[in-house]
A and B are shown apart, each in its own frame.
Chain A
Amino acid sequence: MLPPVISARLHGEPIASLPQDLYIPPEALEVYLDAFEGPLDLLLYLIRKHNLDILDIRMADLTQQYMSYVDKMQAAKLELAADYLLMSAMLIEIKSRMLLPKPAELEQEDDPRAELVRRLLEYEAIKIGAQKIDALPQVGRELLVAQACFEHVVKVQLPVVEMEDLLVAWRSVLERAKNYKHHHISREQLSVREHMSLILRRLQQEGMLEFTQMFAVSEGVQKMVTYFLALLELAREGLVKMTQQAAYSPIYVQAAELMA
């Protein structure tokens, strides 16, 4: 297998080979901080990168490398996550416990690294699990669920109309139109003037008429209104005289000329 061709530049200078260690350009620290998901992730990276045996970690090397990374982060004045510092303390504690001679009665003491190793392995398993879950086909990504459209709302069934129905309907409209015909007031040109004449003519024949006798209810409202208007007009023009003896007593209408 060919070695990978590197065509990267750092500060304008081409890089001939990959950096031997975790190289962090100061301005890229923030990016690196994001790249690691915490101290365990960073430790795993260091262990795997240096091909260390996770079950027999050389604590001195690991601690040194880890601390140098944390130092760089601090140097860049990044707000250092407490989690990273806590891990520093844990590493140092493990290292110091390994340096101390074990008292005879504690011969059976567990390897101080055991807890760290357990956590590293557990985290690594989860990390791989996360990658595996992410690699699964996902609805909305690789999986598209079939969905045929079915309108569950019951459709309103529109009635069918035949030609025959239309004819029947039209005939009944005509039929009804006939019935209503007399209601259509074919506007009789009711001239007030004409009725003024009519009234005068009646008065001439009959002399005096009681007001209510002037109107024939059977002739319709419009006719009566026209009569009334004609009567008012006659009175205004002084052609008729209306008299009433007392309130609510009958009103009499008579032609003015007769009175003269």
Chain B
Amino acid sequence: MMQETQSIQKLKNVLEAALLTSPQPLALDEMLRLFEGKMERTTLRMLLDELKNDWSERTLELVQIASGWRFQAKMEYAEVLARLSPEKPPRYSRATLETLAIIAYKQPVTRGDIEEIRGVAVNQTVLRTLVERGWIDVVGHRDVPGRPSLFATTKNFLDDLNLRSLQELPPIDNLPQQEMEI
């Protein structure tokens, strides 16, 4: 029993080292490679849950996002840690955010769809900003004259927003009457 506990700890240590040093989130398949085929998926999931639990009292937390698992600083340290970077991260304009929201909630959409919903022309730089951020990309073309590009959000977008899937986006379906304070 003692031995078993020790070997579990060893496996968790391997996962911990890999997750802490990986520049990108690690997917389950990647983590399985660490054990050269001697690991069951379900066991791996269990180990990750244990590891997550082990860290629950620490400064970092193990989270699962769209492309895998990663360690990140707990939210409570965000404000303090921000003092280390002299420049505040810029916020996106409303046009950019609304365009992103349309792509996120209604994807895949064309530029025309975005313009239809917003009632104004879409500035090309807005789409370029989002593509460069790696949050949206072209997933195809609509089979209509002009074959306009169909935009969708990427895994990277979900990762950056700490989400596992689009289903975790805040719901907007309950329509907004009561949300407006007048």
**Chain A contacts to B: CB under 8 angstroms:** 37-41, 48-49, 51, 54, 81, 83, 87, 119, 121-150
Contact = CB atoms under 8 A, between A and B. Distances in A.
Contacts of B162: 136-139, 143
B121 A83 contact: yes
A130 B60 CA distance: 29
Given A48-B180, A126-B98, A140-B160, A83 B120 contact: yes
Given A121-B176, A138-B161, A145 B72 contact: yes
Interface residues of B, number: 45
Contacts of A125: 105, 172-173, 175-176
B100 A128 contact: no
B155 interface: no
B118 A38 contact: yes
A121 B174 CA distance: 11
A129 B170 contact: yes
A129 B173 CA distance: 9
A128 B173 CA distance: 10
A136 to B, nearest CB: 5
Interface in B131-182: 159-163, 169-170, 172-173, 175-177, 179-180, 182
A247 to B, nearest CB: 83
A145 B24 CA distance: 9
B21 A51 contact: no
Contact of A138 (B95, B105, B160): B160
Given A144-B81, A146-B60, A129 B75 contact: no
A184 B23 CA distance: 60
B120 A38 contact: yes
B97 interface: yes
30 contacts: A38-B119, A48-B180, A48-B182, A87-B119, A119-B119, A123-B118, A125-B175, A125-B176, A126-B98, A126-B101, A126-B102, A126-B117, A126-B118, A127-B98, A132-B172, A133-B169, A134-B92, A134-B97, A135-B170, A136-B170, A139-B162, A140-B160, A142-B78, A143-B72, A143-B73, A143-B75, A145-B70, A145-B71, A146-B73, A150-B21
Given A83-B119, A134-B91, A148 B172 contact: no
A188 B80 CA distance: 80
A145 B161 CA distance: 12
Given A123-B117, A133-B104, A141-B89, 16 more contacts: A37-B95, A39-B119, A122-B117, A124-B175, A125-B172, A129-B172, A130-B101, A132-B172, A134-B97, A136-B162, A137-B75, A137-B161, A138-B89, A139-B72, A142-B75, A145-B71
B165 to A, nearest CB: 14
A49 B182 contact: yes
